[in-house]
Amino acid sequence: MLYSAGFEFEYALVSETGAFRDFGDLDFAALQHALADGSGTTDEGLVRGDLGIKNGYWYLEGDERFDPNGVFTSMLVKGVEIRTPICSNTTEAADRLIDLQTDLSVRLDPLGLSLGIVGFNPVREAYVLDPPLNEWEQRMRAEHREYDHAEVSNLSYGPDINLSFPELSAADVVEVTRRLTYYSPFMVPFSFSSPFHAGRPWRGPSKRTYERTWRRVAARCFVGSPPTGAEPTMVHPPRIPREEGRIEFKAFDAFLSHDLLLAGAALTLGVCLADDLPGLADTPSRDLHQRAATAAFADPEIAAGAREVLAAAHRVLAAGSTMGAEAGHLDRLDQLLRAGRTPADSLLDAYSRTGLMYLSEGLR
């Protein structure tokens, strides 16, 4: 089946000395100036938002603040996001991401900053809004669900795997999104990269998944004519014409390498196409995600589900005449599952040697 792909990838920012940087000490205005007029500013197929911050293939991510009259004042910056243009396959999208990462690093270097990768802010105990929300901000956030749970989203980092299948109807797109939501707790351990919290190792491999994936959607889609009764936080109207039919899987932790990103994208692609996976859900399972976050493949049900989704993805991708490369990417996940390890184990191993609670220098 024909498809198109794109990635959105959130990076943390770190200093030349290795210090983790975030909303407590990042200057929004200076960063916005340094990143202005970057690649993609003329791409008319991008959703830009109404504040002009998302203007191109990279932009700052964080929590937007407004004065009592609703005028934007600043952003509490958590990091920076790269989004690729729409590509014909996942390999092309991953290569484009690496190119953009190189360009972005050049922009950050004069500021003494570089890109780090981790699934959850490893140094903060909590995210507390300072000053508290004013009345206008409270009303606005009550109306716009994308602002829900900023106390989690402004501490977490991860990719969106964006896929579109021209042959699928709106009902098919919603069904695929429900399938991803159901199988999310069995997919996400392959990406786990947040074993730290408040400056020390946490009690499991994914603080991000433990806090996030039952509060916010695991997957969402954009269709102009959703089926009756579709879950509104999962199904959205397209903001621009090119968004029609797009499916986003949003539950992965931040991948630590180029090959893991490709493997996670292949798994997502395979689950989308595997109509022999019968499970469907409108909201993510809190219980299963939190069990995965604390025990990963040591939990028998999580391990069994991971084997099921990986086998299904292998079958459907290997059977496709044009998807042999995607099937090959899954071998990396087979290795993790057989070893009972997640990428968080590699972060913990490195931490014991270096003291760093993130992967430095971005994707490799």
Per residue in 231-255, is it b (16+ CB within 10 Å) or e — as a string? beebbbeeeeebbbbbbbbbbbbbb
> What's the pLDDT score for residue 48?
73
> What's the pLDDT score for residue 147?
83
Q: What are residue 91's phi and psi, to 5 degrees?
A: -65, -45
> What's the pLDDT score for residue 53?
81
> What's the pLDDT score for residue 322?
76
Q: Point out the residues of the chain with pLDDT beneath 50.
A: none
Q: Are 249 and 6 in contact (CB under 8 A)?
A: no
Report CA-CA distances (Å) from 116 to 16, 134, 359, 360. 11, 33, 6, 5
> Which has the closest alpha carbon to 261: 363, 119, 339, 118?
363
Helix (H, G, I), strand (E, B) or coil at 131: coil
What is the distance between the terminal CA atoms of the chain, rounded to a whole angstrom? 30
> Which has the closest alpha carbon to 113: 124, 122, 105, 103?
105
pTM, entire model: 0.96
What tokens does 282 get? 């409108």
Local structure of residue 167 (DSSP, 8 states): T
> What's the pLDDT score for residue 225?
85
User: HSE of 42 in the Cβ direction (CA atoms, 13 Å)?
Assistant: 0
Distance (Å, whole) CA 310 – CA 304: 10
Tell me: cis bond preceding 131? Omega within 30 of 0 counts: yes
* Angle ∠(165,166,169) on CA atoms, nearest 5: 90
* Angle ∠(286,159,101) on CA atoms, nearest 5: 160
> What's the pLDDT score for residue 321?
66
